[in-house]
């Protein structure tokens, strides 16, 4: 069954039709790419999927359940986590605390404010378990050595990785990556590709990503949807889509 199913999704800002009749189906464990020129509406779709914008029409189904128009927090609890095009870390918190903040809603780590203030046994138990889980996640991204650093002191590439780690901490069914390779040099991009592949294997994660870097897209995505002016231009297997003359004209240049 499809983890994410989007049917006839559309949104208008006043008279501007930003996204129109958008359909998407992402299978479990798939690595799906969403590409398109600047202003095509890719991030707008992400924002609708995560509840930042309310779609004007259409439906979003996560594991068969309708999540259209739900608030961001609820959608995260349902199982969609994301990263941002411009990195949004909790800059003044430590690397470890960034991930621990991601564990906020995991049942096994929840305790009340009063428990925290009074430092009841539950506090120590939950914090200890949180530390372990967070370190585990950091190790996956090779960030465990920097756990006590302030997030803003990490180099750019590691900040991107930390953002993915934080998103994974919320234990999602679907991970949305908004231009994960933006601002990276070829080496870092290569490393990132490996990380994304690893995350997918390790966590059996379903990933939907927006990307401009064609090498990355061609390298790791199984399926692609190409967006142009808010409409689907092409959709299908990566190799075929990238050969499509329409796509080449619109996006890659003639």
**Dist CA 60 CA 8 (whole Å):** 9
Q: Does 44 bind other proteins (CB under 8 A)?
A: no
Q: What is the DSSP letter of 150?
A: B
Residue 61 C-beta: closest distance to other proteins, Å: 20
Residue number, 4 or 193, with CB nearest to other proteins: 4
Residue number, 90 or 229, with CB nearest to other proteins: 90
Residue 135 C-beta: closest distance to other proteins, Å: 9
Task: Sort residue 151 into left (φ over 0), alpha (ψ -120 to 50) or beta.
Answer: alpha
> Per-residue contact track with other proteins, 50 to 69, x per CB under 8 A?
x-x-----------------
Q: Does 88 bind other proteins (CB under 8 A)?
A: yes
Buried b (16+ CB within 10 A) or exposed e, 182-193: bebeeebbeebb
Q: How many helices (H) and strands (E) does the chain have?
A: 10, 10
Residue 134 C-beta: closest distance to other proteins, Å: 11
Q: What is the DSSP letter of 52?
A: S
Across-strand partners of 225?
A: 34, 235
Q: Does 225 bind other proteins (CB under 8 A)?
A: no
Q: Which of 72, 153, 185, 239 binds other proteins (CB under 8 A)?
A: 72
Degrees to nearest 5, angle at CA 41 with 243 and 253? 35
Across-strand partners of 25?
A: 5
Q: Does 91 bind other proteins (CB under 8 A)?
A: yes
Interacting residues toward other proteins by CB under 8 A? 50, 52, 72-73, 76-77, 81-82, 84, 88-94, 96-97, 100-102, 104-105, 109-111, 113, 115-119, 123, 126-127, 130-131, 147-148, 166-167, 169-170
């Amino acid at each position: 069954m499809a983890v994410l199913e989007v049917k006839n999704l559309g949104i208008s800002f006043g008279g501007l039709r930003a996204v129109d009749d958008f359909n998407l189906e992402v299978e479990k464990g798939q690595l799906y790419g969403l590409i398109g020129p600047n202003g095509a509406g890719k991030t707008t779709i992400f924002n609708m999927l995560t509840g930042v914008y309310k779609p004007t029409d259409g439906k979003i189904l996560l594991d068969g359940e309708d999540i259209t128009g739900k608030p961001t927090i609820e959608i995260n609890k349902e199982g969609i986590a994301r990263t941002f095009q411009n990195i949004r870390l909790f800059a003044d918190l430590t690397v470890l605390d960034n991930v621990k903040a991601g564990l906020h809603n995991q049942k096994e780590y929840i305790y009340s404010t009063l428990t925290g203030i009074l430092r009841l046994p539950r506090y120590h138990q939950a914090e200890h378990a949180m530390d372990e889980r967070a370190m585990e996640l950091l190790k996956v991204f090779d960030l465990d050595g920097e756990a006590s650093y302030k997030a803003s002191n990490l180099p750019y590439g590691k900040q991107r990785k930390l953002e993915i780690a934080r998103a994974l901490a919320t234990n999602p069914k679907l991970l949305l990556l908004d231009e994960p390779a933006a601002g990276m040099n070829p080496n870092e991009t290569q490393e990132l590709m490996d990380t994304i592949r690893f995350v997918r294997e390790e966590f059996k994660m379903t990933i939907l990503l927006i990307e401009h870097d064609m090498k990355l897209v061609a390298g790791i995505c199984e399926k692609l949807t190409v967006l142009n002016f808010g409409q689907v231009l092409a959709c299908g297997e990566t190799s075929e889509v990238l050969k499509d003359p329409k796509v080449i004209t619109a996006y890659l240049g003639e």
